[in-house]
Amino acid sequence: MKLLLKIWRQKNANSKGKMVDYPISGIEGDMSFLEMLDVLNQELIEKGEDPVVFDHDCREGICGSCSLQINGEPHGPDRLITTCQLHMRKFNDGDTIVIEPFRATAFPVIKDLMIDRSAFDRIQQAGGYISVNTSGHTVDANAIPIEKDHADESFNAATCIGCGACVAACKNASAMLFTSAKVSQFALLPQGRVEATERVQNMVRQMDLEGFGNCTNTGACEVECPKGISLENIARMNREYLAATTKG
């Protein structure tokens, strides 16, 4: 395939960025999107030009670090996948592909397509822990009966990889889906109830401090989430927050 790539280039966080056109050819449909960018970067290096900076790690859809806005969609024109799992067969010969970093005030650009998502880390650090000792006591794991529905819902919430697609998809750059997933995975299990009141208040407070917007109730976050995190988690977090702030 021959393609025209329109890629956001930005030298650093304080520089003004711009879109730059890169024609590319010889792209096979079985290549992943990141492999296609690798081909482009090899060509740029051979020309003595700076390669395009983008974040990646596992390339297996596990870490979420490869987040890119592709033709206006987080992770591109497919569902339930990360950018590294997107293959070039989703595009046609002669296509123009616009590639940008995720756009949010709380996700400042580091360089080119790489963003700083440490805001998510700080939200988790604000309350994403339990004080119950669960290490080294496998017998205890079966000592407390847990409804299967609750265990399943907790596991589903825990599959959130913190990629930021929910923020990028939301017109208000809301982090409600991410935060609610981290709240839910603990709130649904008895081990997480000990700090439940403080956890939800601290995580919501940190989310607001980071500059994320409010939920728009449009559901774009769930649609674009590579792990299919449900909007039900937002409703659960709202209930947890209401109970925590009216307790006593």
Domain end among 80, 111, 142: 111
**28 and 105 assigned to the same domain:** yes
**79 and 95 assigned to the same domain:** yes
Domain end among 84, 111, 138: 111
Contact 97, 6 (CB under 8 A): yes
Domain end among 111, 139, 154: 111
Q: How far apart are CA 78 and CA 34, in angstroms?
A: 15
Give, for all 248 residues of the chain, the pLDDT tens digit: 999 999 999 999 999 999 999 999 999 999 999 999 999 999 999 999 999 999 999 999 999 999 999 999 999 999 999 999 999 999 999 999 999 999 999 999 999 999 999 999 999 999 978 887 767 666 666 677 889 999 999 999 999 999 999 999 999 999 999 999 999 999 999 989 999 999 999 999 999 999 999 999 999 999 999 999 999 999 999 999 999 999 75
**79 and 133 assigned to the same domain:** no
**121 and 240 assigned to the same domain:** yes
| Enclosing domain of residue 22 | 3-111
**100 and 68 assigned to the same domain:** yes
Q: Considering its fold, how many domains does the chain have in total? A: 2
DSSP 132: S
**151 and 85 assigned to the same domain:** no
Q: How far apart are CA 103 and CA 135, in angstroms?
A: 39
DSSP calls for 55-93:
--S-SSSSS-TT--EETTEET-SSSS--GGG-BGGGS-T
